[in-house]
Homo-oligomer: A and B are copies of this chain.
Amino acid sequence: MSQLFKPRQSVEQVEESADLAPKFDADGLIPAVTTDWASGELLMVGYMNAEAHEKTIATGEAHYFSRSREVLWHKGATSGFVQRIRELLVDDDQDCIWLRVDVEGGASCHVGYRSCFYRRVPTGKEFGATEVDGRIDLVWTDTEKVFDPEEVYGDAPNPTIL
């Protein structure tokens, strides 16, 4: 374990002290939520292992652990869409990280959209009004791709795991 992270010793320490004591899960990962500094938009949710977390803190650029490729992943190394950290926050029990970033080029989604979140699910009354046999259709909130994934990634394998 790095010097950077302190051992988790008590609820009070984790929730109320200045100790950085992240909780990595059974796979050694912690989820990281990444939002756009200017717009507040949720760009992506990734995972970090201890190395990725450390590199993110030390460099000020987002590093993740790619679960599909099982490697340290400097976001933007391939696409150029580097995420510069404006603010990195931890949650109360330190099992989650929030990255507020500027993205060079403005895209974060391998499908080509600005954000990974480009479809919404009708809920509540809208669900009631549109469901058919308990099923619903997703609704696009963004229809404009900001880059062509084929141009950027070529024939690299799609990271989506079924």
Other-chain contact of A60, B93, B98, B124 (Cβ < 8 Å): B124
Taken together as a complex, chains A and B put the C-alpha atoms of A10 and B44 apart, in Å, by 21
Copies in the complex: 2
Total count of chain A residues near the partner, CB < 8 A: 71
Do A123 and B60 touch (CB < 8 A)? yes
Do B85 and A45 touch (CB < 8 A)? no
Taken together as a complex, chains A and B put the C-alpha atoms of A56 and B136 apart, in Å, by 14
Q: What are 11 pairs between A and B in contact, CB < 8 Å?
A: A11-B162, A18-B137, A18-B139, A20-B137, A33-B33, A33-B42, A42-B89, A60-B123, A60-B124, A60-B127, A88-B120
Query: Sorted from nearest, which 5 A-B pairs have the closest CB atoms?
Result: A60-B124, A40-B40, A3-B134, A93-B160, A18-B137
